[in-house]
Amino acid sequence: MPYNDPSPLEVRILTRRFGLPDSASLDTYLAHDGFQGFERALKLKPEEIIEEVKLSHLRGRGGAGFPAGLKWSFVPRSSPKPKYIVANADESEPGTCKDRLLMEYDPHQLLEGMLIAALAVDAHAGYIYIRGEYRYLIEILDRAIEEARARGYLGRNILGSGFDFEVYTHTGAGAYECGEESALLESLEGKRGVPRIRPPFPAVAGAFGCPTVLNNVETFCAVPYILREGGAAFAALGTPKNGGTRLFCLSGHVNRPGVYELPMGFNLLRMIHEVGGGVWKGKKLKAVIPGGSSCPVLKAGECDLPMDYDSLARAGSMLGSGGVVVMDEDTCMVKVALRIMRFYAHESCGWCIPCREGTMWLRKLLQRFHDGGGTRADIGLIGDVAKSMLGRTFCPLGDAAAMPTISFVEKFREEFEAHLDGRPCPCERAGEAVAV
Ligand SMILES: Cc1cc2nc3c(=O)[nH]c(=O)nc-3n(C[C@H](O)[C@H](O)[C@H](O)COP(=O)(O)O)c2cc1C
């Protein structure tokens, strides 16, 4: 995937080596501060490494925004069981396409982040669980792993330290559910990718029933900088309790879509207008999905806000996985809700009935509605079905499907009403349909 032109507003920490000649090679990595964070970590005690990560206010970039240092501290180092490091490279949330760039252009940064985590929890094996469609990246990662091993940065007695760590790539088969951490672990173990009951959480009983640090690719990629420059330096880039930069995947109806690394807390309207070059074709902004398809939609008037976990939560949405989907004034919101639900109905793993049946009912209801066959009672029914799924499944896929649907019905009710009485989609009638 070609990397878009950088924006002058970016603060490039994780992406700073993108664009360098042969950026995926170990030589390029070493020539640009590579493995310095790990070398510093070697001189620290495990609890000091974890303290540094806590100090950075690095929060998980996979969706939920859980503090990474705190998660690492839950791993019982003294357990006699082996410990594992797992990088979640499933990247299946619609609107999200950042981890692939991190792996394509700078795979050693990910390896270094995993290695530092391994030191912190005394793990000796790690897995990169990568979605099936990213097969081309496996070659890049395997080459990087081989190169690092040949030069003493992986394998036995790393850099003469006495510490051993191996990394293996493992491919999924393209199931969204296998990005959910517990289903991922099932799949990694060779089983059907369905969620596990928690607790216990992966930190205590993860891969093969052993303590496991499981983080998103971008989360691990931030760790080398934190160890090299210090947690405080990383924290200072963002807002309180939301440290660092974040890769935002700006897509939809903007003039310059792309993946941009911006400080946490960057204003969403500025992102659309100054980084993304504004809404395309001179049109007005109607709405934004701020963090991937599972996040509640924001109306244009709600978008003047800092992009960090806490600000988005206060606005009733989520920062999620950084997938910012911009929609112009002509977008049919019923069609967007339908498009999203088609995805969730297809991707529900079928393990929990409220998710399996709920997503299927909602897809049918929204399809009928969009085609002009809906009734006024259906509007309430869509919201009711979605609400009855919330919190009733083993994993948050059910919530991920329900939350955006509830927001579309509540915030754009008039558009649902415009589809009533046998009227087909008004946007399509006006010849203004936009593929979603
Ligand atoms: C249905 C579903 C799909 C998910 N897909 C991904 C994914 O593709 N990549 C990812 O990193 N996290 C995904 N997550 C979140 C993971 O379960 C987990 O919270 C995350 O990998 C933890 O890493 P982090 O703390 O660094 O964010 C998904 C969650 C759900 C419920």
- Give the bridge partners for 245, in sequence order: 263
Instruction: Give the binding-site residues of ligand 1, using a 6 Å CB cut-off.
Output: 60-64, 66, 88, 90-93, 176-177, 179-181, 214-216, 219, 395-397, 400
Residue ranges of alpha helices (H) inside 275-375 are: 309-314, 333-347, 353-370
Q: Which residue's CA is minimally distant from atom 12 of ligand 1?
A: 62
Q: How far apart are CA 102 and CA 110, in angstroms?
A: 8
Residues in Cβ contact with 232 at an 8 Å cutoff, skipping those fewer than 6 apart: 55, 56
Q: Report the atom number in ligand 1 closest to the C-alpha of 131.
A: 8
Q: Report the atom number in ligand 1 closest to the C-alpha of 61.
A: 27
Q: Tens digit of pLDDT for each residue in 227-241?
A: 999 999 999 999 999
**407-426 average pLDDT score:** 87
Residue 153 near residue 159, CB atoms below 8 Å: yes
Write a three-state SS string for 399-421: HHHHHHHHHHHHHCHHHHHCCCC
Sign of CA dihedral 28, 30, 31, 33: positive
Nearest to 118 by CA among 206, 19, 52, 211: 211
Q: Tens digit of pLDDT for each residue in 141-184?
A: 999 999 999 999 999 999 999 999 999 999 999 899 999 999 99
**Res 4: pLDDT:** 78
pLDDT at 429 over 60: no
Q: Tens digit of pLDDT for each residue in 57-106?
A: 999 999 999 999 999 999 999 899 999 999 999 999 999 999 999 999 99
Q: In angstroms, how far is the first alpha carbon of the chain from the final one? A: 21
Fold of 245-328: Ubiquitin-like (UB roll) (3.10.20)
Q: How far apart are CA 144 and CA 326, in angstroms?
A: 35
**324-335 average pLDDT score:** 96
Two structure tokens written together for 116: 């530092």
Ligand 1 centroid to 261 CA: how many Å? Answer: 20
> Please, where in the chain does CATH 1.20.1440.230 lie?
333-429
Assessment of whether the complete model's pTM goes beyond 0.75:
yes
pLDDT band with cut points at 50, 70 and 90 for residue 431: very low
- 285-289, strands of its sheet edge to edge: 258-263, 245-252, 323-328, 285-289, 298-299
The H or E element containing residue 218 is: helix 217-229
Ligand 1 centroid to 369 CA: how many Å? Answer: 31
pLDDT band with cut points at 50, 70 and 90 for residue 5: confident
Q: Tens digit of pLDDT for each residue in 271-280?
A: 999 999 999 9
pLDDT band with cut points at 50, 70 and 90 for residue 434: very low
Ligand 1 centroid to 273 CA: how many Å? Answer: 29
Pocket test for ligand 1, best of 71, 93, 137 (most atoms within 8 A of CB): 93
Ligand 1 centroid to 270 CA: how many Å? Answer: 27
**Res 361: pLDDT:** 96
> Please, where in the chain does CATH 3.40.50.11540 lie?
26-236
Residue 249 near residue 98, CB atoms below 8 Å: yes
**Res 1: pLDDT:** 53
Ligand 1 centroid to 431 CA: how many Å? Answer: 38
Q: How far apart are CA 154 and CA 124, in angstroms?
A: 10
Q: How far apart are CA 379 and CA 384, in angstroms?
A: 9
Q: Tens digit of pLDDT for each residue in 181-203?
A: 999 999 999 999 999 999 999 99
Nearest to 293 by CA among 415, 410, 176, 133: 176
pLDDT at 362 over 70: yes
Two structure tokens written together for 155: 């394998």
Q: Which letter does DSSP use for residue 170 in this model?
A: E
Q: Tens digit of pLDDT for each residue in 243-276?
A: 999 999 999 999 999 999 999 999 999 999 999 9
Architecture of domain 333-429: Up-down Bundle (1.20)
> Please, where in the chain does CATH 3.10.20.600 lie?
245-328
**375-404 average pLDDT score:** 94
The H or E element containing residue 36 is: helix 36-42
Mean pLDDT of the chain: 95
Q: What is the CATH number of domain 26-236?
A: 3.40.50.11540
Q: Tens digit of pLDDT for each residue in 21-39?
A: 999 999 999 999 999 999 9
The pair phi, psi for residue 259, each rounded to 5°, is: -105, 120
Residue 76 near residue 262, CB atoms below 8 Å: no
Instruction: State percent of the chain over pLDDT 70.
Output: 97
**Res 2: pLDDT:** 55
Nearest to 169 by CA among 206, 121, 211, 137: 137
According to DSSP, the β-strands at 285-289 and 298-299 are antiparallel
**380-402 average pLDDT score:** 95
The pair phi, psi for residue 254, each rounded to 5°, is: -120, 160
**Res 42: pLDDT:** 98
Q: Which of 55-64, 100-109, 366-375 has the lowest mean pLDDT?
A: 366-375
Q: Which residue's CA is minimally distant from atom 20 of ligand 1?
A: 62
